[in-house]
Structure 1
Amino acid sequence: MHMTVTDLACARGSLQVLAGVSFPLSPGQALILRGPNGSGKTTLLRTLAGLTPPLSGKIVAEPDAIAYAGHADGLKAQLSVAENLRFWAGIFGGSGIDDAVSAFDLAELLDRPAGELSAGQKRRLSLARLLVTGRAIWCLDEPTVSLDASNVARFAAAVGAHLAGGGSAIIATHIDLGLPQADILDISPFVAKSLPVSDPFSDEAFA
């Protein structure tokens, strides 16, 4: 599923942080966002996902094509791992959770409440939700936080399988995930002078 971004301007809170962002994204492609801390990678991902309105420019993608995973794990602590996955599968109309469980090695944790998981286990569960959304474009903000080396590799394999199936991904990360289909987008040239805009926007962990 294709996405085209043209001359996009984005705001963080009450300040404009990016201007003139343009790129295409094709099925099977990963785009790795690079840039200094605070340069606007998170803001760009949230704008692409529809969580923050763009100031100007155009995002062309199919409706309901995008799944976003941010810094917060966004889990329901009182629900088990399996219940969390089934909840999100139900929200997005997914057909089951088996692939997500397998991809992120969650089988032994299915009955455990999410609130009792370690930080790394919570991150694996949070990322596993992507597989139950059925959405073609993944927007991921520092997805490997709290993951050890083996689980970074597990995550990279899940992204690789998503790309091989015709999906695509936009990922803010400083880690080399070893994805042969990945291109780099340095957002530094698009950083705008901090111009005030009207309304601050809310924060979401996952959409």
Structure 2
Amino acid sequence: MAALLAVAGCAGQGGGTAPGDAKGGRPTVSGDAKGPSAGTVPGIPAADKARTQLARLKVAPQGSMTGYSRDRFPHWAELGDNCNTRETVLERDGRDVRRDARCRAVSGTWTSVYDGRTFTKASGLDIDHTVPLANAWRSGANTWTQEKRKAFANDLTRPQLLAVSAVSNRSKGDQGPDEWQPPSKTYWCTYARSWTAVKSFYGLTVTKAEKTTLGTMLDTCRR
């Protein structure tokens, strides 16, 4: 697994079917669902550090979508042993995950931190890019090399990838935090810290509205 960490969104879709439980019905919803175990999603800064990072982010209008394609951000990267980035995140964010010989998650339990839904089938999940690929393109990634865009789309060392419900991921699309926030307000603090950390590391810009909303979301963090 150490080798996986060397691999560094439009929201990343997992190509799954509509969300459902193990019997193919609706997912369960739990108000106190905790999602991925504490500490499993890497690189989330403390709130004070995130505020410092946010203050330093360059404010600029969103750029053009001219030339954008998801193919400009190659994903999901092969990591050896038949595994790719998507399957690695599914194992990391789930509990009691079992994989087959092709590294596909065949059983386990996942809780989507965006909306509190719990799944026992990986097909109900998408792997979300915290900062969507199209949003990154509009805020500076259009000038990157293809190699850097690939690293961004497969980043396992920062809080850029997360297994969430397909419904929440597709509702988010490529919107920034000023346009879309996780339905579960208890995740706003973590979401803002994660978004800010990713944009800070990659030197991406934020809009004025985006920066203001991130500050408001960081204010929900416990002091």
The interval holding the TM-score normalised by the smaller chain is under 0.3
Greater share of residues in helix: 2
When normalised by structure 1's length, the TM-score is: 0.26
